[in-house]
């Protein structure tokens, strides 16, 4: 319990900064940009007509952007990017702290099994992901309550919008598992933010493969697309196959991390 509380407290500053950025961007997009798009429909439609079809498909820029649900569909990729970077950074930080400070020998001589230490650290990371995801859902619901009732736009049930917004919880857990595994595998972690940003940007860029090529097979290597926001908004569900894939990948990463953490040698000072 002491390790769990220590890690949560140690991450609190980064957690608050990340949460402010995530919710701030949500307010900026959904509460600031959406009303402008909605009220300037004619001009925006003219601009959309000038986009190449591939660009419009990639970023979800189409006529549906004038509804709250359609605009959320367009914005969701950027919210996922922020959540992915935050979550990966937490995984790297909580599991790589002793490696960065070269204090692993001190931690492992404590009267507690390594696997218990691993689980305590993992629980701290999961707590940050879940709390940030829930607060994000509250923020989206409040913004929808203020801007989502425009009678001239296609309405969407709040339940479907929150289901779509819950994709950030899945992205957060998945990229937390990537960060945890990377923290255990890497010999040296020079920059948590740099590595986390690389993971997030890579996930962001891989979205372009299925969108630009039209080949759904590329979704298998595009983690953001495993949580299909369009499916949640249009049909009130996610695709079971891709959710299963995400769960298997996350569990596999965390299980491998546990084995390596429990059996790994403590590196000496250099």
CA angle at 24 for the pair 22 and 30, rounded to the nearest 5°:
100
Please report the pLDDT score of residue 63 as a whole number: 52
Q: Considering only CA atoms, which of 229, 69, 75, 79 is closest in space to residue 149?
A: 69
Residue-range definition of the domain harbouring residue 168:
2-263
Please report the pLDDT score of residue 224 as a whole number: 92
180 lies in some domain: yes
43 lies in some domain: yes
20 lies in some domain: yes
158 lies in some domain: yes
Helix (H) or strand (E) holding 5: helix 2-10
Q: Is the pTM of this model over 0.85?
A: yes
Instruction: Kindly give, in sequence order, each residue whose CB lies less than 8 Å from that of residue 229, ignoring residues fewer than 6 positions away.
Output: 72, 73, 76, 164, 167
Please report the pLDDT score of residue 51 as a whole number: 60
Structure tokens at 64: 């549906």
49 lies in some domain: yes
172 lies in some domain: yes
213 lies in some domain: yes
Full pLDDT tens readout for the chain, 270 residues = 688 898 999 999 999 999 999 999 999 988 888 888 777 767 766 766 666 655 555 555 555 677 888 888 888 999 999 999 999 999 999 988 766 655 555 555 555 688 888 999 999 999 999 999 999 999 999 999 887 655 544 578 888 999 999 999 999 999 999 999 999 888 777 888 899 999 999 998 888 887 776 777 888 889 999 999 989 988 889 999 999 999 999 999 999 999 988 886 555 444
3-class SS shares of the chain: helix, strand, coil, % to 5: 80, 0, 20
Please report the pLDDT score of residue 270 as a whole number: 43
d(CA 20, CA 58): 27
268 lies in some domain: no
The HSE-up count of residue 260 (CA atoms within 13 Å, CB side) is: 16
Q: How many structural domains does the chain have?
A: 1
d(CA 255, CA 40): 50
Q: Considering only CA atoms, which of 52, 39, 79 is closest in space to residue 212?
A: 52
- Number of helices (H), then strands (E), belonging to the chain: the values are 14, 0
Count of Cβ atoms closer than 10 Å to residue 268 Cβ: 8
């Amino acid at each position: 319990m002491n390790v769990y509380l220590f890690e949560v407290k140690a991450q609190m500053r980064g957690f608050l900064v990340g949460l402010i950025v995530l919710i701030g961007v949500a307010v900026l997009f959904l509460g600031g940009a959406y009303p402008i798009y909605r009220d300037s429909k004619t001009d925006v439609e003219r601009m959309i007509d000038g986009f190449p079809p591939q660009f419009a498909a990639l970023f979800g820029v189409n006529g549906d952007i004038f509804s709250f649900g359609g605009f959320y569909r367009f914005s969701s990729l950027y919210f996922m990017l922020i959540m992915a970077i935050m979550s990966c950074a937490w995984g790297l930080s909580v599991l790589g702290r002793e490696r960065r400070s070269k204090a692993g020998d001190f931690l492992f001589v404590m009267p507690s099994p390594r696997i218990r230490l691993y689980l305590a650290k993992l629980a701290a990371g999961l707590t940050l992901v879940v709390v940030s995801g829930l607060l994000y859902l509250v923020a989206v619901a409040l913004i929808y309550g203020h801007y989502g009732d425009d009678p001239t736009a296609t309405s969407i049930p709040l339940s479907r919008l929150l289901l779509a917004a819950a994709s950030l919880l899945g992205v957060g857990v998945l990229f937390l598992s990537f960060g945890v595994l990377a923290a255990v595998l890497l010999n040296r972690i020079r920059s948590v933010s740099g590595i986390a940003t690389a993971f997030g940007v890579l996930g962001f860029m891989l979205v372009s493969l299925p969108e630009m090529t039209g080949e759904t097979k590329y979704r298998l290597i595009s983690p953001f697309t495993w949580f299909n926001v369009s499916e949640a908004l249009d049909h009130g569900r996610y695709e079971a196959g891709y959710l299963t894939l995400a769960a298997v990948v996350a569990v596999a990463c965390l299980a491998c991390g546990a084995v390596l953490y429990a059996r790994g040698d403590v590196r000496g000072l250099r």
